[in-house]
Amino acid sequence: MAPTFENIPVEILIINGSPRPKSNTSELIRHVSDGIATQQGATISEFSFLNAHFGEIGYEDKKNSFDELLSKWKSADGVIIAAPIYTADIPGADYTGLDLLDSALEPDIGSVGKYDKAGGVLIQGSAPWGLQELGAQHIIERFVGLHTIPAERLVGRIADKERPTDDLLSASYSFGQDIAKHAKLIKLAYEQPQSERANILLLNAGVENPDVGNEISARAKSAIEAAGANVTTHSFIGKALEGCRHCIGFCGSKGYCQYDDDFSEFLSKWLAADGYLTVVSADVQGQPAIVRRALDRLSEHVFQTGLRELIQNGAPMFNYPKYSRPSGVISYGRRRYGGQTEAIQSLIAHDVHRGNYPIGGRDPHSPLGAAGFVVQVSQLGCDQFFTEAIDRLAEDVADFSNRILTAKKIYYNTIPEAFYASREKMGVRDKEVYKNEFGY
């Protein structure tokens, strides 16, 4: 039987990161599993960190569970890491397993640009502001390093000695359903040779050292085209772009922003793209302010458009599309450790928010993206690791975007509407528009 989105089998590994029996995490996992079970063809495997040891110092005589973790990870099409917060991060015991996975998988990951697993992170803690988001972000970044697409994240609070709220339980159920859906789409993307040419938006935000930004962008453009995708470029260099001022009454009612500046050009290109590659200078401990300004406005647009659709057309609230567009970041700066990683982390966080598919490339020196220390343009060729990282990341964004687009075309009839984002309105699904594009 030919595969369809509905019948393709996927195995979802659920990793329980709580070290205690009868944990709150286990209760949420029961609802996640029920959600997964609603998806035809989805099966579940499990691994628990409860009493798990990995041959670490002092525990050499205990059963070593690493082979079990590794083999389950390798065979899974989707991986969920569910864990509590222990002082601002997930438990240390979990990190032992994740660190070993990183070492064991690094040789494979360094040589292939394959992103064939969907990742989901579910984090809860008892404190109202218990840094659940921070724990989730750390796992998201581990996923990127392990070539697992961080596709969904759920964070919540379970007050001490109380049961999880019904809202959190039902969100866990939907989270399970969603991870199975992402796993199916990603698996379909690898089921057949890519035939579509994706449109990659190459964003040049090399504003602090434009000579270098321009050179890197030109290099990335060639690599994307050589890998068989099309490129649309957009430069933030020298552009005027107002930040979001939260005057939501205006954009909420009119559907566009009161500031008539470079944003509208950026927005229309962002909507039309199938994948993203962003080049950012990072001289101020992270991304340039203009990128934040653009992303503020992009994301407020998602929310306000959703609200308008509810009020005007009765669409369900939070009925946002899963953009599912691959996205990579190249970051460079004049300081050796001056914020390249932070710039990439911020953009990954934003992509997960949008339902995009962040990928990190193949450079073991900077697993979250391509990061370089470049003072002037003539230095660019001196760091071979950086130039190779740029080329491989550009290639991987192109390849994965072509694959996802091919799957969205071939399996158009069975892939849910949520994966087809409007190319005209932010935050809105519009599957119909792809019919013409795909020639149906």
Instruction: Give the residues lining the site for ligand FMN (CB under 6 A).
Output: 18, 20, 23-25, 84-88, 124-127, 130-131, 158
* Cα distance between residue 439 and residue 239, in whole Å: 37
**Number of residue whose CB is nearest ligand FMN:** 130
Q: Choose between 20 and 63: whose C-beta lies nearer to ligand FMN.
A: 20
Neighbours of 416 (CB within 10 A): 14
> CB within 8 A of 107, min separation 6: which ones?
none
Rounded to whole angstroms, what are the CA distances from 148 to 1, 102, 115, 142?
A: 28, 12, 6, 8
**Backbone phi and psi for residue 52, each to the nearest 5 degrees, phi listed first:** -80, 140
Q: Which residue has the tokens 């669409």?
A: 315
Q: Choose between 28 and 426: whose C-beta lies nearer to ligand FMN.
A: 28
Taking the complex as a whole, how short is the minimal distance between the CB of residue 42 and ligand FMN, in angstroms? 24
Of 99, 91, 120, give the one whose Cα is nearest residue 355. Answer: 120
Q: Choose between 23 and 235: whose C-beta lies nearer to ligand FMN.
A: 23
Q: Choose between 126 and 422: whose C-beta lies nearer to ligand FMN.
A: 126
* Cα distance between residue 273 and residue 241, in whole Å: 20
Neighbours of 218 (CB within 10 A): 14
Q: Choose between 25 and 305: whose C-beta lies nearer to ligand FMN.
A: 25
SS3 content of the chain, % helix, strand, coil (to 5): 45, 15, 40
Taking the complex as a whole, how short is the minimal distance between the CB of residue 15 and ligand FMN, in angstroms? 13
Q: Choose between 25 and 327: whose C-beta lies nearer to ligand FMN.
A: 25
Q: How many whole angstroms from its chain centre is CA 372?
A: 22
Taking the complex as a whole, how short is the minimal distance between the CB of residue 17 and ligand FMN, in angstroms? 8
Taking the complex as a whole, how short is the minimal distance between the CB of residue 28 and ligand FMN, in angstroms? 8
Taking the complex as a whole, how short is the minimal distance between the CB of residue 20 and ligand FMN, in angstroms? 5
Taking the complex as a whole, how short is the minimal distance between the CB of residue 94 and ligand FMN, in angstroms? 11
